[in-house]
């Protein structure tokens, strides 16, 4: 089983984030048909008490509602204010009902070549450099326990009722013990 996030998963994460940002800016003001009841939600991710920045948080309803996404990315304090989106409409919060959450964070590998060196690379050199970055990334320890990165295996579930704001705290060290 792979212990790192694939390029395909990174591409999907950036795509979802881009779509969400565009739709937050260009969204409309009327709630569309089929948009669920929403309650405010902040997710906090820590690791041994330390906030974890840059975790991509994605929440789905159970059963899943097609075209509905609830996503955010943690800030320096480990907090992510969830936004739910359906089509071009987005609203702060999560849907009411049974939810499951997954987390993703790609380990960062520092560049070992300067920007000037990278600019002068041939295509083959750039491909080899990218492969070396990925090889180094694969050797890094997982930031997020693997079970929390997939909707089928995530134990991060919650029943949300209308009228209550949600503070969902996740201490990653608790899930490494399982």
Task: Give the pLDDT band (50/70/90) at residue 106.
Answer: confident
d(CA 142, CA 149): 11
State whether residue 2 is helix, strand or coil: coil
User: Residue 102 belongs to what H/E stretch?
Assistant: strand 97-104
What tokens appear for 146 in the block? 């693997």
CB atoms within 10 A of CB 47: 16
Phi and psi, residue 163, nearest 5°: 95, -10
Bridge partners (DSSP) of residue 59 are 70, 101
CB atoms within 10 A of CB 86: 21
pLDDT in tens, 86-97: 988 999 999 999
Q: Is the pTM of this model over 0.85?
A: no
pLDDT at 31: 81
Task: Give the pLDDT band (50/70/90) at residue 178.
Answer: low
Mean pLDDT taken over the chain: 86
What percent of the chain has a predicted confidence (pLDDT) above 90?
62
Q: What are the boundaries of each domain within the chain?
A: 7-106+142-176, 108-141
What tokens appear for 129 in the block? 């450099």
d(CA 71, CA 152): 17
Q: Domain 7-106+142-176 sits in which CATH superfamily?
A: Immunoglobulins (2.60.40.10)
DSSP string covering 42-78:
EEEEEETTEE-TT-EEEEEESSPPTTEEEEEE--TTS
Residue 7 has pLDDT above 70, yes or no: no
């Amino acid at each position: 089983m792979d212990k790192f996030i694939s390029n395909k998963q990174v591409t999907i994460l950036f795509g979802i984030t881009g779509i969400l940002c565009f739709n937050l800016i260009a969204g409309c003001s009327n709630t569309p048909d089929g948009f669920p009841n929403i309650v405010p939600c902040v997710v906090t991710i820590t690791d041994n008490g330390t906030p974890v920045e840059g975790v991509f948080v994605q929440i789905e309803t159970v059963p899943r509602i097609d075209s509905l996404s609830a996503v955010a990315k943690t800030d320096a304090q480990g907090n992510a204010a969830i936004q739910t989106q359906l089509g071009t409409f987005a609203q702060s919060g999560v849907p009411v009902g049974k939810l499951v959450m997954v987390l993703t964070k790609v380990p960062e590998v520092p560049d070992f070549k300067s920007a000037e060196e990278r600019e002068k690379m041939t295509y083959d050199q750039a491909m080899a450099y990218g492969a070396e970055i990925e090889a180094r990334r694969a050797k890094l320890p997982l930031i997020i326990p693997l079970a929390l990165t997939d909707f089928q295996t995530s134990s991060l579930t919650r029943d949300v009722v209308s009228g209550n704001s949600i503070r969902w705290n996740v201490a990653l060290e608790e899930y490494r013990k399982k």
